[in-house]
Amino acid sequence: MATYPTLKLHVAGEWRSRPGAPVHNPLDDSVVGEVPHATKADLDDALAAAVEGQRAWRRTSPVKRQAIMRAAAQLIRERADAIADSITLEQGKPHAQAKIEAIRACDIIEWDAEEGRRAYGRVIPAEPGMRHIVLREPIGIVAGFAPWNFPISSPTRKVAGALAAGCAIILKASEETPAGAMHLVEAFVDAGVPKGALQLLYGVPSEISEYLIPQATVRLVTFTGSVPVGKRLAALAGQYMKPAIMELGGHAPVIVCDDIDVDAAAAVSATVKSRNAGQVCVAPTRFFVDDAVHDRFAAAMGEKAKAVKIGNGLDPATMMGPVANHRRVEAMERLVADAVSRGARVLAGGERVGNQGCLYPLTVLADVPDDALAMQEEPFGPLALISRTRSLDEAITKANSLPFGLAGYAFTNSAPRVEQLSDQLEVGNLSINHLVASIAETPFGGVKDSGYGREGGSEGLACYTVTKNVSHLVG
């Protein structure tokens, strides 16, 4: 029997209960819990405690910080089954995928913890008697805003990056999928993170972000979510001269060339598209398929998609759960209806399953015209769009035609094509012959409207530091 925790805020070293709003299971709309909403006094307490937490954490040696972070990761590993229960109940993804998400959070924490020990500066050669020393210092208190699609791994990106760099963080996690973040914070608290170094809030998102971001003690804003909200928060951060990490939407192109194993590429595409019901900012979405292999690729992907079993994420046979909320169902219905009205063909899915909850099947559309709404708006759901192209130049032009630039993918075995794709695709992460956009040690983030700053890799940690140059004239 899957269990769901009693949700609490974590402020100034205390777990606090507050009235709030119901949390729904997207499988059947049932209520699984109640998310507490922070009061203004909670926000003020969190800000005051963060100042103390920042001081204590910065003075904790990198080795000790790493030990606490590794201990938190170990607790998450031990609790992964219970964490996966919560995530499946609040967000819908299959239990096995939820568990993989929890383990991925551990990988991120462990890698960041190790890398935090290597925040080296440098010494710049100078004339005799002069020393120029470049120090990398923690930037200070971070305000982090995490979304609902990865309830534990998305907040982990922010928490692990901030803590590894020596920063305190106030995390405002998703109100729709709050338990993942609570498990994360609980593991750190149990592992011994000092009071105020990591705090957890939920509430009305705009009220919390508009209150926290202008505060003088908050030094960095990190947000994962939609482009419109990201632009609003980035503008607010800019108004108060705060740097920001913006990990926003994507609309990933997949360029399929004629020199590959078509069936294998179609199979992996259907599988990866089904993960998290397509609600992934790096989900493969616009498939630009060379004319020579188009028909075979489309047919194979349609067949693979039809075989994806959709249902209750707690059933081990389920391959794809519901989408996370009714907004996503409505978006799928609107985008599919629009594409079909413009001539797209439905190769798989295309209609909601049942009339309760948020089950929407893996849907593959072919002959999707460039002006279909789905080709421009991020579907953020189980929708794969196939379009025929006649050259690599044409595919790259179409891939680059949107304001998004997060992940991009290609299938080819030609070295010159790999070179051209690497050179010309406007994305932050390009994966060739596979569909994994990032791992803990690689920098992840976008260009254009997909945002700026990086999460993961040494570039990610650098975003949580500031550079200080110290010049010292001896004698």
Q: Tell me: does residue 455 bind ligand NAD (CB under 6 A).
A: no
How far apart are the C-alpha atoms of 383 and 328, rounded to whole Å?
11
Q: What is the DSSP letter of 9?
A: E
How far apart are the C-alpha atoms of 17 and 39, rounded to whole Å?
11
Q: Tell me: does residue 97 bind ligand NAD (CB under 6 A).
A: no
Q: Tell me: does residue 281 bind ligand NAD (CB under 6 A).
A: yes
CB 158 within 8 A of CB 15: no
Q: How far is the CB of 146 from ligand NAD (least distance, A)?
A: 7
Q: Tell me: does residue 378 bind ligand NAD (CB under 6 A).
A: yes
Q: How far is the CB of 175 from ligand NAD (least distance, A)?
A: 7
Give the long-range contacts of residues 264-271, CB within 8 A, separation 24 or more.
Answer: 265/297, 265/411, 266/296, 266/297, 266/300, 266/301, 266/304, 267/300, 267/304, 268/434, 268/435, 269/301, 269/304, 269/384, 269/435, 270/301, 270/304, 270/305, 270/308, 270/362, 270/364, 270/384, 271/304, 271/308
Q: φ and ψ at 145, to 5 degrees?
A: -125, 115
Q: Tell me: does residue 249 bind ligand NAD (CB under 6 A).
A: yes
Q: How far is the CB of 445 from ligand NAD (least distance, A)?
A: 10
How far apart are the C-alpha atoms of 442 and 460, rounded to whole Å?
9
Q: Which stretch binds ligand NAD (CB under 6 A): 7-15, 225-233, 344-352, 426-434?
A: 225-233
Q: Which stretch binds ligand NAD (CB under 6 A): 145-153, 238-246, 264-272, 393-401?
A: 145-153
CB 209 within 8 A of CB 236: yes
Catalytic residue among 110, 176, 186, 247: 247
Nearer Cβ to ligand NAD, position 327 or 468?
Answer: 327
Q: φ and ψ at 178, to 5 degrees?
A: -80, -20
Of residues 401-440, those binding ligand NAD (CB under 6 A) = none
Nearer Cβ to ligand NAD, position 14 or 210?
Answer: 210
Q: Which stretch binds ligand NAD (CB under 6 A): 87-95, 204-212, 254-262, 332-340?
A: 204-212
Q: Tell me: does residue 222 bind ligand NAD (CB under 6 A).
A: no
Q: Tell me: does residue 253 bind ligand NAD (CB under 6 A).
A: no
Catalytic residue among 106, 281, 358, 463: 281
CB 180 within 8 A of CB 86: yes
Q: Tell me: does residue 179 bind ligand NAD (CB under 6 A).
A: no
CB 145 within 8 A of CB 209: yes
Task: Compute how many residues bind ligand NAD; rule: CB under 6 A.
Answer: 21
Q: Which stretch binds ligand NAD (CB under 6 A): 72-80, 246-254, 336-344, 352-360?
A: 246-254
Nearer Cβ to ligand NAD, position 201 or 392?
Answer: 201
Q: How far is the CB of 330 from ligand NAD (least distance, A)?
A: 10
Q: Which residues neighbour 392 within 8 Å (Cβ) at sequence distance 6 or greater?
A: 255, 257, 290, 417, 420, 421
Q: Tell me: does residue 145 bind ligand NAD (CB under 6 A).
A: yes
Is residue 247 among the annotated active site residues? Answer: yes
What's the Cα-to-Cα distance from 412 to each of 16, 288, 349, 366, rounded to whole Å? 53, 12, 28, 21
How far apart are the C-alpha atoms of 20 and 325, rounded to whole Å?
18
Nearer Cβ to ligand NAD, position 156 or 465?
Answer: 156
Q: Tell me: does residue 225 bind ligand NAD (CB under 6 A).
A: yes
Q: Which of 111, 148, 288, 297 binds ligand NAD (CB under 6 A)?
A: 148
Which two three-digit tokens encode residue 199? 């705090």
CA angle 136, 139, 145 (to 5 degrees): 135
Nearer Cβ to ligand NAD, position 202 or 411?
Answer: 202
Q: Which of 109, 165, 237, 248 binds ligand NAD (CB under 6 A)?
A: 248
First to last CA, the chain: 72
Q: Which of 25, 86, 149, 156 binds ligand NAD (CB under 6 A)?
A: 149
Residue ranges in contact with ligand NAD by CB under 6 A: 145, 147-149, 174, 205-206, 209, 224-226, 228-229, 233, 247-249, 281, 327, 378, 380
What residues act catalytically? Answer: 247, 281
